[in-house]
Amino acid sequence: MKVYKITDKDGFTRRGQDGETKWGKNVRHRITKKGNILCSDEVYHCYKDPYLAVLMNPNHGDYDSKTLQLWKSETPKIVNDDGVKSGCKTLTTIKVIPTPIITTEQLVEIAIRCAMKVYDDEKFQDWAMKWITNQDGGAAARAAERAAEAAEAAEAAWAAEAAAEAAWAAGAAARAAERAAWAAAGAAWAAARAAEAAAGAAAAAAGAAWAAADFDLIPIIREVINK
């Protein structure tokens, strides 16, 4: 099964408490420990789509976007998937491939579209559609707004990410969905206002929205990228 893996510039990742794992051309690693819990030493993380890997990097690997390596990889089986990342027991990194570029505008639109999946407030939906269809004053106005409110938006992005984590941790599904919806909307607003916060906010919005509604992120990403 074809998947994608992101590492730092030297091919390293950090997995659970086992320290660093070194990947490379045609390098295969296998985990024999039982269990399939994501974000643990029971699985290796990978992604089903290269754009999804790049989108989620700020919230997962947090590798330098200018130097990270994206690996075309293979796994016999995905044993767990939370909608934004996958886990497998055996993974082979085949070769480094070009890292796809997602522009700030595209990151923002992805964040907004994810938030629209779960946050049905009429005013937000109206604003979001105008932003997507470029009816809110154009790119220049948006850029000026982002610059003016960058600091505030950056704080909002981090708050949205924290809210998303809280939503995932919440025990009651209804409460988790509600919190995630608010987190997704907050991250989308933040991304629309600050280029500096766009990457982290877009990732937070996508994760929070998925936690609330369990939808497929990849078609949304591809729709935006292929416009």
* Domain boundary assignment for the chain: 2-97, 104-225
**Around Cβ 138, how many Cβ atoms within 10 Å?**
9
- Asked if 45 and 91 touch (Cβ cutoff 8 Å), the reply is no
The confidence score (pLDDT) of residue 136 equals: 57
Of 10 and 142, the structure prediction assigns the larger pLDDT to 10
Mean pLDDT score, 102-122: 82
pLDDT per residue over 194-222, tens digit each? 555 566 767 777 777 777 777 788 999 99
**For 167-170, which contacts have Cβ atoms below 8 Å and span 24 or more sequence positions?**
167/208, 167/211, 167/212, 168/207, 168/211
The confidence score (pLDDT) of residue 43 equals: 94
Non-local CB neighbours of 180 within 8 Å, separated by 6+ positions:
118, 163, 164, 167, 168, 208, 209, 211, 212
Amino acid at 42: E
Provide the pLDDT confidence category of residue 187 given band limits of 50, 70 and 90.
low
- Asked if 156 and 204 touch (Cβ cutoff 8 Å), the reply is no
- Asked if 204 and 134 touch (Cβ cutoff 8 Å), the reply is no
